[in-house]
Structure 1
Amino acid sequence: MLGLPFFAVSWRSLIERARARICGADRVLCGILLALKPVEAPGLGTLGVTKDGRLLVDPKAVMEYTLHGRRIEELARILVHEALHVLFLHPERCEKLGDLNICNVAADAIVEATIEESVRGDPSLARTLGFYTEDGVLNAPRPGSEYHKRLEALREFLEKCGVPWDMVLDETLESIYKKLEACLRKKGGAPAKSIDSHPWGGAQPSIVAPRGGSISSGREQLGEIARMAAKMVEEGGGAGPSGIAGKLPGVVPGEWENVLELTGLRAKLNWRQLLQRLLDRYAPLDYTWRRPSRRSEALRVYLPGPLKRGWKITVALDTSGSIEDDEYREFLAALYELLADRPVETLVVVEADVRVQRMQVFTDPPPPAVIEWARRRRGYGGTVFSTVIDEILEKHPDTDLIIYFTDGYGYYPKTQPRVPIIWVISRRGVKPGSRYWPPIGHVVKIE
């Protein structure tokens, strides 16, 4: 009896299928993958993107990811992984940090945490990409696969080095790198295995353009791809709210601000927009048609107004002697705008220098009442942020977010607090790169 003919499945066709699935969910990441040239790399054991724009592919690894062509979800996830490395400029940034092995692990952590945060809780995106089921169960990588084993080993390694997985997105590539480097120096050993391969060196072949044809070779081309993709994200280039790229400004604000800085796009955003983006992540704003927007009357169009949510936010105002009166007035003006645009259920306002001078809890706070309370400041001493934050968390352990208005000159906590913290630095405050620049949390510089 003759059997059915056997048709070999090519690794290139599987790459195309996985890429098509991503293109149906996110055109920014799709564009990056179309701009990378797949190159066969036997023995690599996985996939990897080079700094000169090649996508290295081990055919054997592709067959393992896809169970010899039977399913492509895991291959799609590794392709998203590679596209995010490009978008976040990880090849360029890792080259500057020194130890590529440690940086590879830090970069993988940022990328994998971004994927999980973006996809989990979004049934339509989870269904399209297949990374998670609609019930939030991990579907790709498959439990027990090599990809899954490396992901679990990555989580365990980060935990041992004091970087909990649920705090990864509060860090940047550079901050995680420093923590891992210090951890390995102290404890010895080697970093976890990278999920993919990062051969960020070597020759400079040409890159295939998205619509065919050849683009000039050189590592600068990869940076150009990243810049174009970043611009698309800023302009809303993701596939609506469901696309991974469309979620990046809210999901990974610290990492994304670095990308904007490096690509020259950050200058297009003012500090108020940056602060609002961070707040969108930690205190998302919903709207209701039952309460009209303040802009409705002026525009003569009925618009939904903001819906109060059960967020408890703490705002700390630096009242130390280094804060000039005009700086303090600027803090109060920013606080007024924040309350007017984003009502919260509970607000804790703190005046502090070396310690907490005053603390007041406002429920459903009207902006004028808060500003009137904070107008006559107390303090004028030195600045110790760590003491103030400890007291805030001791008295209000259920706070969801701390926003600290300051000039930045003071003593910071040595470790990340258990809640997110946003530093709003005054115009005359510390500059990026100085020894007083906040080592933890997210930073917004008033400009």
Structure 2
Amino acid sequence: MTDLNEAAKQRLTKAVVHLLTTQRLSGEVLLEMPRTKNQDLDAPVGLAWQDNQLVLEYNDQQLSELSTDQLNVRLQHEVLHAIWQHPLRYVSSTHPRKVALATDIAVNQYLKTPPQGTMTLADLEKLLQRPLAAHRDSRYYLRVLTHLTPAEKGRIEKAWGKLEDDDENEHQRNEKKAGKAQKAAASHQGWQTDQSVDNPDLQKARLKSLLTKAWESLSQKNRGLLPGEIQAELERLAHPEPLNWRQLLIRLLGKIPSGKQDTRARFNRRQPLRMELPGQIDRLNADIYAFVDNSGSMSDQEVANVLTQLQYLAAQLNLQVEIVPFDAKVHDEGVTRLSPGKSVSYRRTGGGGTCFQAIFDWLQQNHIDRQQATIVILTDGWGESELNVHGYRNVLWLLSTESELSVKSPQMRSVKIGGN
């Protein structure tokens, strides 16, 4: 009798060979991706980080229960997660269930028959009772899931289970029937890593190398059969164009509205007689936190010019921006919010040494959301060489000099301001 694990290995090999003839890109990606058994994985297959490399994990028992067609779809689904770099972008997610649903919605739009148990755009639209934009980045759908009305959240949780852990301990969760949102998050559990051990730059480089090799192995005919969005993403990875800081920031942000938040201090305008229904106000949390180095080499006018451009971009994207001064520490008393339509001026105070660690400590202490906030750091680049970023990865360093950033492994990108 064939060993269950050996049978699983053979099935995966046959599936990859089949995809090489039917879905060439998926086959090429999987051909280069290591495979490893994981009996703790609550899904037939999934992606995970091992030694800073993305691998395909499988549970041989659950895999044996899939038909050939179901396995092929599952594998294509995982490849799409890799193409959009979801395991890298959401490696430190604080909302794993929402992330799992949002990323599944994004990739399932490129599959004729999505895997069973994964959310689709049609599923979400039906539950929200309103249309959503198609073929958008996962951050768009994550924001939708983050800014739900109580009624919308209720409908989703009735169908998919809790969207948050609600501080349940492990025993309590095991005692309850897992909802589909929890199972979806479990299938993505390999995306989470120990940041004290892993190297984000190495992970990014290896994933890019994997995808670029698969893309370059395709013939022009095979490339032409792919959806335009996938072609554009892989072409960008293979031949990246130099970007200025405004383009990089837009890429980080995405064209996503800020949304509203519920409040009991305001009547619900649509149903003012329903006292139990909350009203809505503009969300108070900023989308962009711009940290300005008071000890930097830029003049106040140069800083104001950059902030003016930032204000313009934020107004176009309907986002909130908070300006946070820092040097050896973050100056809470100097925090201000950019106001659309008003001229921007800036005057530095203080001016001691530069401490980048103070930025990330301040973000953590103020409970700034790691997924929703984008961090912009305007500095001359002279500071520490090592940082504990506390999981904040949506970071753009704007350098005011030709010097390189002192941080050895900065999160996201650093770019010179001059000439852009």
* Structure number, greater radius of gyration: 1
Please report the TM-score for the alignment, with normalisation by the length of structure 1.
0.47
Please report the TM-score for the alignment, with normalisation by the length of structure 2.
0.50
